A and B are shown apart, each in its own frame.
Chain A
């Protein structure tokens, strides 16, 4: 790669180049303006565990967004894993392994149902995942019974999920980092991963290239559900007493994180690292507003505004010719010709 190529690459705006500095800015803002103790052990120990869970769930959501869908079954899947952990283990360490296996099987089934209905039968992803979420909630009530036999997760899970490695950095954060890296390596370095990306971003082209694109797109739903399951298990351990609201916070936040990571909701390439940074950004923003004592209503407004801003930025980054045309038209000059759909 010569010097010109390097310079050209530097000049190209990518989602990572936008969200990366954004995260650095908000880190500085949080540390210097808001609390002055963001990196203190006491803060890291309470902030990193829920952030790590959000990262894992958001990366799962990004696999679905990559196919052009949105998964609305996130809260139900996360909550279901909490109920399975309580019900199958009855709060005992001896039942934890069985509970984890049931969680994995349940998540694979959920992913397959979503994937087959959306990709196999070509049903609308929003409607399908919304309906699946309702099915899961109904099933959960039947499976959980009137009153769950335990309200605390097995002590081993709770202890491990709240334990720290060093200076307030928890094992959960380590898992989130590893999960992000594994996701990135899988998508960029493994044949199956690259086929998954190709099938998600350009299904027709992938099909014409001989790939069974539909299968890969169904796989995206299965990976997503397994990610929610992992997030749900960790969230259960972190909270200690999961209830029927365990998954509620992760629907909007996971979508916002993916959008801030530069993904287009119409589908295309997604980056686990950018999604992770998107999650860090939105979580820290919410955290800052909480520390300042701002009301929940205002925090929700800010999250909504950030989602809109993120979508606009993603559009700007991914469609520079159209944006240039729009600007030219606004200035009153002749707009440059838009590239055709085929191009």
Chain B
């Protein structure tokens, strides 16, 4: 009995402690938020003084009104973003407007650069004096590509005077956290929400609830199949079927329309993989009778799983002249698996861009392990188009429910390698000023 009472007291004491701790955390969070917002407003002051604040640039509506006219500067920027000279019609009107805005965002004063960098380091900041809150819900913010995308969205947001607060939430690869983050952004009053959705349709109910509460949402790069506009106002995505066909065409060109191909995808059953594999096979069987798919391998889009898949492909004994893969970065591990096995690596045709892969390719030119490499752009600019589409919607204009990103495979070139930058850097198609990139990399 005495022991029970003692235990009861202990539990009570623990409960009290836990309550005090929770209250402390909440108080610290509120205090932190307060101090953070005060510091944010302090930080935004010099920016405004020096012209960083967008309010000074005239009437809000005038400043935010976008143009869909292709100027030489925009054309140059679009060519940089896709890695090849821009051809008319590759971007829709909203895409062109996004690049016009992006061109504005690259001419940064030192104060604006400081503000952008400080905002990038935080999960919440004040970019200007506008009333809108921009929320970014990232499914997994742990790699360099996502960090660059975050900066692209900050820079684009700085060109809209309507945007005041910027909030970035990282779900760290956890579906439940992603759903909670969308709800949290909605509760924090984010009227404009960008999202990189790693989880597909599972997040749709959270999107619907947020849009019902008054937000507009756009996802970029990874499509959410079947999501209607009541869930996502606009999707800025890769058309995976077309990408599969383009990959097949690129492989045909590299292999002179003859040989065997392996298809490498992400986690088993991921919707993108199923779509592009099917379309690539269809294109091969329709147009290239002497090209065939000899092997298919799942990876988790990670270095270790790519190496395992390559090892199994080698051991299967099936001929493989080219590997089509929907993620460039782990392709280095595929090349290394071939080298370990004493075999010449096959041609690699991969979506996205990796500084490390270009370096790897470059170092092997002229050796017995030389291989052909074709990559697309990094597509890091996609978040900019998403934001522009949503700002159009906020300003009462109609936006397409789906905006396709052009995917062009470009043969590797030594000039694509950016010396001094890590292997995970997505390459020269990133639209972030170099001085800012260097600061970001140094901040690690």
Please, what's the 1-or-0 string for B231-248, where 1 marks a CB less than 8 Å from any CB in chain A?
Answer: 000000000000000000
* Structural contact, A42 and B333, CB atoms closer than 8 A: no
Task: Provide the bound-state CA to CA distance between A145 and B120, in Å.
Answer: 12
- A-B contact sample (10 more), CB < 8 A, given A146-B443, A239-B333, A291-B312: A36-B317, A46-B310, A46-B340, A50-B304, A146-B440, A149-B444, A240-B333, A241-B333, A241-B356, A241-B423
Task: Decide if B441 is an interface residue (CB 8 Å cutoff).
Answer: yes
Question: What are 15 of the A-B contact pairs (CB < 8 Å)?
Answer: A38-B315, A42-B341, A43-B311, A50-B307, A144-B444, A146-B147, A147-B440, A151-B144, A151-B423, A238-B304, A239-B333, A249-B305, A287-B312, A290-B309, A297-B268
Task: Decide if A141 is an interface residue (CB 8 Å cutoff).
Answer: yes
Please, what's the 1-or-0 string for B292-322, where 1 marks a CB less than 8 Å from any CB in chain A?
Answer: 0001111010111101111110111100000
Question: Which residues of A are found within 8 Å of B269, using beta-carbon distances?
Answer: 295-297
Task: Decide if A148 is an interface residue (CB 8 Å cutoff).
Answer: yes
Task: Decide if B66 is an interface residue (CB 8 Å cutoff).
Answer: no
Question: Which residues of B are found within 8 Å of A239, using beta-carbon distances?
Answer: 303-304, 307, 333
* Structural contact, B342 and A47, CB atoms closer than 8 A: no
| Least CB distance, B421 to chain A, in whole angstroms | 9
| Least CB distance, A170 to chain B, in whole angstroms | 9
* Structural contact, B267 and A241, CB atoms closer than 8 A: no
Task: Decide if A304 is an interface residue (CB 8 Å cutoff).
Answer: no
| Least CB distance, A261 to chain B, in whole angstroms | 22
* Structural contact, A146 and B315, CB atoms closer than 8 A: no
Question: Which residues of B are found within 8 Å of A137, using beta-carbon distances?
Answer: 172
Task: Decide if A129 is an interface residue (CB 8 Å cutoff).
Answer: no
Question: Which residues of B are found within 8 Å of A162, using beta-carbon distances?
Answer: 336, 340
Task: Decide if B5 is an interface residue (CB 8 Å cutoff).
Answer: no
Q: How many residues of B contact A (CB 8 A)?
A: 47
| Least CB distance, B91 to chain A, in whole angstroms | 29
Within A25-42, the residues touching B (CB, 8 Å) are: 35-38, 41-42
* Structural contact, A235 and B316, CB atoms closer than 8 A: no
Within A6-51, the residues touching B (CB, 8 Å) are: 35-38, 41-43, 45-47, 50
Within A62-99, the residues touching B (CB, 8 Å) are: 87
Task: Decide if B143 is an interface residue (CB 8 Å cutoff).
Answer: yes
* Structural contact, B441 and A149, CB atoms closer than 8 A: yes
Which residues does A use to contact B, with CB under 8 Å?
35-38, 41-43, 45-47, 50, 87, 137, 141, 144-152, 162, 164, 235, 238-246, 248-249, 287, 290-293, 295-297, 300
Task: Provide the bound-state CA to CA distance between A164 and B172, in Å.
Answer: 36
Option from B144, B304, B310, B333 in Cβ contact (under 8 Å) with A249: B304
| Least CB distance, B227 to chain A, in whole angstroms | 24
Task: Provide the bound-state CA to CA distance between A290 and B307, in Å.
Answer: 12
Option from B302, B311, B342 in Cβ contact (under 8 Å) with A243: B302
Question: Which residues of A are found within 8 Å of B342, using beta-carbon distances?
Answer: 41-42, 45
In the complex, what residue of chain A is closest to B298 when comparing beta carbons?
Answer: A296
Task: Decide if B412 is an interface residue (CB 8 Å cutoff).
Answer: no
| Least CB distance, B231 to chain A, in whole angstroms | 26
* Structural contact, A248 and B341, CB atoms closer than 8 A: no
| Least CB distance, B77 to chain A, in whole angstroms | 24
In the complex, what residue of chain B is closest to A298 when comparing beta carbons?
Answer: B268
* Structural contact, B300 and A37, CB atoms closer than 8 A: no
* Structural contact, B268 and A46, CB atoms closer than 8 A: no
Question: Which residues of A are found within 8 Å of B268, using beta-carbon distances?
Answer: 295-297, 300
Question: Which residues of B are found within 8 Å of A238, using beta-carbon distances?
Answer: 304, 307
* Structural contact, A43 and B315, CB atoms closer than 8 A: yes
Task: Provide the bound-state CA to CA distance between A295 and B300, in Å.
Answer: 12
Task: Decide if B343 is an interface residue (CB 8 Å cutoff).
Answer: yes
Task: Decide if B121 is an interface residue (CB 8 Å cutoff).
Answer: yes
Question: Which residues of B are found within 8 Å of A240, using beta-carbon distances?
Answer: 303, 332-333, 336
Task: Provide the bound-state CA to CA distance between A45 and B315, in Å.
Answer: 11
Question: Which residues of A are found within 8 Å of B302, using beta-carbon distances?
Answer: 243, 245-246, 248
Task: Decide if B337 is an interface residue (CB 8 Å cutoff).
Answer: yes
In the complex, what residue of chain A is closest to B142 when comparing beta carbons?
Answer: A244
Task: Provide the bound-state CA to CA distance between A38 and B222, in Å.
Answer: 38
| Least CB distance, B381 to chain A, in whole angstroms | 19
Task: Provide the bound-state CA to CA distance between A45 and B336, in Å.
Answer: 11
* Structural contact, A46 and B311, CB atoms closer than 8 A: yes
Task: Decide if B424 is an interface residue (CB 8 Å cutoff).
Answer: yes
* Structural contact, B304 and A37, CB atoms closer than 8 A: no
Within B38-76, the residues touching A (CB, 8 Å) are: none
Q: Would you list the 8 A-B pairs with minimal beta carbon distance, nearest first?
A: A296-B268, A46-B311, A290-B312, A42-B341, A296-B298, A151-B423, A145-B444, A151-B422
Task: Provide the bound-state CA to CA distance between A284 and B342, in Å.
Answer: 21
Task: Provide the bound-state CA to CA distance between A236 and B442, in Å.
Answer: 22
Task: Provide the bound-state CA to CA distance between A8 and B57, in Å.
Answer: 92
| Least CB distance, A318 to chain B, in whole angstroms | 33
In the complex, what residue of chain B is closest to A36 when comparing beta carbons?
Answer: B317
Question: Which residues of A are found within 8 Å of B147, using beta-carbon distances?
Answer: 146-147
* Structural contact, B143 and A47, CB atoms closer than 8 A: no
Option from B144, B315, B356, B424 in Cβ contact (under 8 Å) with A47: B315
